[in-house]
Structure 1
Amino acid sequence: MSGGSSNTDPQELPVDEAELLRVCRIGRAQGLKGEVSVRLFTDEPEERFEPGAVLFSRDGSTEYVVQRARAFKDRWYLKLEGVDDRTAAEALNGTELYGEAWELDDDEFYPKDIVGLEARLRTADGPVIGTVVDMTDNAQWLLKIRLAHPVGDERTALVPFVEALVPQVDLDGGVLVIDPPGGLIPGVDRTL
C-alpha cells in the first residue's frame, strides 16, 4: 500500500472516483508474508495485476500497488506493497479495490455504461421494453431489464448480452436495441 490517506482532501484525489471500476475484493490472508486471496470482478486479471499496477480504494484516496500476483486453481493471490505480514493482510479482508477505466474498442462496453440505458424493441425508435437496471456475469453477461409494462408478477427480464439479441448500443442516445426471440421477455411477442 502506498500513497494517499483517508485524510486526503477530495480536491487532491489522484483519480476521478466516477472513472474507477471495481476490480476485486480482498479475501483471506494467504500464508504469513502478506499475500491475500481476491475475488475477481474483472475479465483482465493479468493486466490489472501486473507488478507495479496501481489499484485504489473506492473513493480513490488510497493507492495499493501490486508487488506480484499469481493464479492457482482458478483463484488469484496478490502481494501488495507495504502489506508484509499476515496481520496486515487480514486487516484488508473485505476491502474492494478499483482500477482506472481503460479506453475500449467501439464494440466493448463497461457495465456501468450500459446500466440506465432504455431498452427498445428491434430499432432505436421501436417500442420501449424497459430500462437496464443491472448487468451480471454468470456464464455470460446478462442484462437485467426493468419492464416498462410488467406482466403479472414478472417485473424484470434477463437478456443475454450478445450481438444476436442486442444488435445496437447507443451510449450517446441512451438506448440499446433488443431483438428477442418469442418468450424471452414477458409480454413481448416476436411478431410485434
Structure 2
Amino acid sequence: MQLVVARIGRAHGIKGEVTVEVRTDEPELRLAPGAVLATDPAAKGPLTIETGRVHSGRLLLRFEGVTDRTGAEALRNILLIADVDPEELPEEEDEYYDHQLMDLDVVTKDGVEVGRITEISHLPSQDLFIVERPDGSEVMIPFVEAIVTEIDLEEQRAVIDPPPGLIDDRAEIASARDDEAAAEKTADETGDDS
C-alpha cells in the first residue's frame, strides 16, 4: 500500500536542499536518510533521501543526485510516497493510518448513523474526517478526542459525541443576553419588580 508522506516545498539554500510539508506522524521513520520514495508525478522519482535536518521548525531534505538550487526547484510540489505494509500499525496506541480510517461508518454515541468516512483532510491545526451522509451531503468532523470518542477497527466504525450544530443545522445557541432577556420577560409577566 502506498501512502503520501510529504509534499516538497521550495528550495532552501544553494546546495539542493528543499523544505517539505510533512504528512506523516512518523517522519523519523518514513523520511530518514536512505529512504527510497515513489513520487507523484511518477516520472520525477523514485527519490532517495540523502540527508535530512530540521531548520527553524521545518524539515529540510536533500535527495541523491540533487546538488544545486535549480535541481531542488524542479522538485517543488512533488508528493513523496512510501510503500507501507497494510498490516503495519502506528507505534502509538491511539494513532491510525488514513487507510485504516477510510470507509469507517460514523455513528453518534446514541447509535444514530451519521455516514461514512470518504476522506481525511490533514490541516495544520487538526485532522478532519470528511463524512458522506446517507443523503449524499458531506459533513466535516474534527478528529479530536473530545468529539471522536472511539475508533473500533473490528466493527469498522467511529463513534462520535458531536457538539450541537456540528452534524445538523439545529445549533443550540445560548448566551447570557438570552438568559437575561428570558428573566426580564418572566419578571414582566409576573409583575415582579426586583
Compute the TM-score of the two structures, normalised by the length of structure 2.
Answer: 0.70
The one of 83, 97, 101 equivalent to 1:110 is 97
- Map of 2:9 onto structure 1: 27
Amino acid of the structure 2 residue aligned with 1:147: R
How much does 1:59 deviate?
8.3
Structure 1's unaligned 5+ residue stretches are 1-18
Deviations 1:102-145, CA, capped at 9 Å, x for gaps = 5325532112321222212226xx23111212222331222222
- Map of 1:135 onto structure 2: 120
Among all aligned residue pairs of Structure 1 and Structure 2, give the percentage whose two residues are the same amino acid. 37
- Map of 1:119 onto structure 2: 106
Deviations 1:11-42, CA, capped at 9 Å, x for gaps = xxxxxxxx121111122222222212222212
Q: Distance in 2 between matches of 1:72 and 1:164?
A: 33
- Shift of the 173–189 alpha-carbon distance from structure 1 to 2, 3 Å rule, reads farther
Matched, 1:99 2:85: no
- Shift of the 140–53 alpha-carbon distance from structure 1 to 2, 3 Å rule, reads same
2:76 alignment partner, SS class: coil
Aligned partners of 1:20 and 1:58 also within 8 Å:
no
1:107 alignment partner, SS class: coil
Say what the alpha-carbon RMSD is for the aligned residues.
2.9
Structure number, greater radius of gyration: 2
Q: Which has the higher contact order (CA 8 A, sep 6+)?
A: 1
Aligned partners of 1:23 and 1:98 also within 8 Å:
yes
- Shift of the 107–39 alpha-carbon distance from structure 1 to 2, 3 Å rule, reads closer
- Map of 2:179 onto structure 1: none
Structure with greater strand share of residues? 1
- Shift of the 130–187 alpha-carbon distance from structure 1 to 2, 3 Å rule, reads farther
Q: Distance in 2 between matches of 1:25 and 1:163?
A: 27
How much does 1:44 deviate?
2.9
The one of 160, 164, 169 equivalent to 2:142 is 160
- Map of 2:192 onto structure 1: none
How much does 1:187 deviate?
5.8
- Map of 1:7 onto structure 2: none
Amino acid of the structure 1 residue aligned with 2:39: S
Amino acid of the structure 2 residue aligned with 1:68: T
Structure with greater helix share of residues? 2
- Shift of the 188–80 alpha-carbon distance from structure 1 to 2, 3 Å rule, reads same
- Map of 1:66 onto structure 2: 49
Matched, 1:82 2:57: no
Q: Distance in 1 between matches of 2:170 and 2:101?
A: 21
2:133 alignment partner, SS class: strand
- 1:172-187 map, 5 Å: 172-186=154-168
Structure 2's unaligned 5+ residue stretches are 173-194
Aligned partners of 1:130 and 1:149 also within 8 Å:
no
Matched, 1:38 2:20: yes
How much does 1:188 deviate?
8.0
Q: How many residues align?
A: 166
Deviations 1:151-185, CA, capped at 9 Å, x for gaps = xxxx3322222334223323343322222233321
